[in-house]
Chain A
């Protein structure tokens, strides 16, 4: 499933609409410690985190992740979203908890 299909199936909000949505989502990761994610992250993951600063994009981009999903109404500043678009990382937002998001991803076969 690619990011476009993930958005369609979950109804999550795409926060940086100019980003390409063709990356395949091949796994998930739920963690707020950046160096932990740096150590264990994988290409194609959907990363669920409450961190919203510039370094989230740096880590997601180094791993070539598919997208970042922000739980419980979290948002990112415009400058961070612009960077995310440059790095081709889709940022999705929703009102669900991190746990609920992971359950959704699992139910979708990710």
Chain B
């Protein structure tokens, strides 16, 4: 395993729509600064944004952690609950439990997780109801 070049963690609070996008913007800027190829920066930024919004809308709060080493960019989303009862359903495009209050803002298309999975080279999701959700996304640098 290559040496870690960078590790950065962002706390994401439940319901904090005003700051939504700040963590992903920070992640995008960091990767650009490191000289990561634009296509990869773009895919990581999309996955980071969807993770961040999910933490804000669906979780009780959590964090997004970016790790970069010589081989890959890794993005980890961790939260404190409520967990996902059916991961299979959650991964289906169009499936959403978003409340009407956020649907009227344009969230809740049920596209976030499918979009994260599509953009990452490796995608792993584990969730335990009443405990939390843990998502690992890896993007190969070559």
Interface residues of A (CB under 8 A from B): 32-36, 38-39, 49, 51, 53-59, 61-63
Contact = CB atoms under 8 A, between A and B. Distances in A.
Given A58-B25, A58-B49, A62-B28, A34 B107 contact: yes
A36 B24 CA distance: 17
B115 A62 contact: no
A26 to B, nearest CB: 15
Given A51-B106, A53-B105, A36 B20 contact: no
Interface of B: 17-18, 20-21, 24-25, 28, 42, 45-46, 49-50, 53, 105-112, 114-115, 118
Contacts, number: 68
In terms of DSSP, what is the predominant structure of the interface of chain B? helix
Contact of B106 (A33, A39, A63): A33
Contact of B25 (A36, A49, A53, A61): A61
Contact of A51 (B25, B105, B109): B105
A39 B115 contact: yes
B21 A33 contact: no
Nearest to A87: B25
B107 to A, nearest CB: 6
Contacts of A32: 106
B20 A58 contact: yes
Contacts of B111: 33, 35-36, 38-39
